Structure 1
Amino acid sequence: MSAPFDQHVTFLYAEDPAPSWRFYEEVLGLPLAQDQGTCRIYAVAPGARAFLGVCRARGPRVTDNPRVQGGAVITFVAQDVEGWHARLKAAGVEIAAAPAFSETYRVTSFFFRDPAGYTLEIQRFERPDWPAPV
């Protein structure tokens, strides 16, 4: 069975989106797919299937806790988790802990925040039942 949707876009909101735009473009190196003025949409994965939009917020964030209803953790899947950790540290991104293996989820990952305060994760699945990228 194929996926029911053709593409996916996650939208994040920032009161001042310019620092976030620079972060996603310059630090993470995401290619700009579309600039809509108050919102920029970036390609996250090859094949024009997954995108991340960063838009001007209409009001302040209610909570910084990503694990409450309405919260979010944005996860980027990559094989070179350790390389991404080193690259982000070298770029001055504040990271609380080094990549670590989670026995519960069988992933290796680390967390950090973007300039608007969103929790981001880079992880590698350490399990054979995760679908390989196409």
Structure 2
Amino acid sequence: MVSNFQYPITFLPCKNLEENRHFYETILKLPVALEQGPCILYKIGTENHFSYWGFCSHYDEYIQNQKKVCLTLVVENIKEVDDWHTELIKKGVKCIKEPAHTPQFKLYNGFYEDPMEYTIEIQAFYEDGKPKGV
């Protein structure tokens, strides 16, 4: 069978949808793609490269230990990583690791924590480190 997957959705448990909504809509400025009562889906990316993150208030019984999850947002360049760092710090977002070069993976990145303690990574690939097709 050929994999004809159209797009990925990553679902994560969320204790407080309104607190999460503020973080993802106001601070990260992600658009809501779908609201389903106890779940909110956000669209990430552009028309050719996109996916969804879904936060659900009823998933705690199924999924635990959010410290093992890293949600990565890829930006165009190093300046954007630094700009996001400044913006997130200004808005009181906890920084786990200041932006820095990671030559092993050919990227520049910083790590933050959302209200549910998920790790948020903002990164830019070096030109020679981008995934194929990007």
Q: Please indicate the TM-score interval, normalised by the length of the shorter structure.
A: 0.7 to 0.9
1:45-124 to 2 correspondence within 5 Å? Answer: 45-47=45-47, 49-59=50-60, 62-66=64-68, 72-79=69-76, 80-124=80-124
The answer on whether the counterparts of 2:13 and 2:64 sit within 8 Å (CA) in structure 1 is no
| RMSD between superposed Cα atoms in Å | 2.2
User: 1:43 aligns to what?
Assistant: 43
* 4+ runs deviating over 6 angstroms: none
Comparing 50-59 with 31-40, which one deviates more in the overlay? 50-59
**Whose strand proportion is higher, 1 or 2?**
2
The alignment partner of 2:104 has SS state of coil
The alignment partner of 1:92 has SS state of coil
Comparing 6-15 with 41-50, which one deviates more in the overlay? 41-50
User: 2:32 aligns to what?
Assistant: 32
Return 5+ residue gaps in structure 1 as ranges: 67-71
TM-score w.r.t. length of structure 1: 0.82
The answer on whether the counterparts of 1:108 and 1:124 sit within 8 Å (CA) in structure 2 is yes
* Cα distance in structure 1, aligned partners of 2:119 and 2:128: 26
Deviation for aligned residue 1:59: 3.0
The answer on whether the counterparts of 1:17 and 1:116 sit within 8 Å (CA) in structure 2 is no
* Cα distance in structure 1, aligned partners of 2:65 and 2:8: 25
Deviation for aligned residue 1:120: 1.0
Seen in structure 2, the aligned counterparts of structure 1 residues 103 and 129 have a Cα distance that, compared at 3 Å, is closer
The answer on whether the counterparts of 2:42 and 2:52 sit within 8 Å (CA) in structure 1 is yes
Deviation for aligned residue 1:4: 4.2
**Whose helix proportion is higher, 1 or 2?**
2
* Cα distance in structure 2, aligned partners of 1:8 and 1:59: 21
Number of residue-to-residue matches in the alignment: 127
Task: Spell out, residue by residue over 1:48-87, the C-alpha distance to the aligned partner (whole angstroms, 9 max, x if none).
Answer: 7311111104437743542xxxxx2111000211111111
Seen in structure 2, the aligned counterparts of structure 1 residues 57 and 113 have a Cα distance that, compared at 3 Å, is farther
TM-score w.r.t. length of structure 2: 0.82
The answer on whether the counterparts of 1:109 and 1:122 sit within 8 Å (CA) in structure 2 is yes
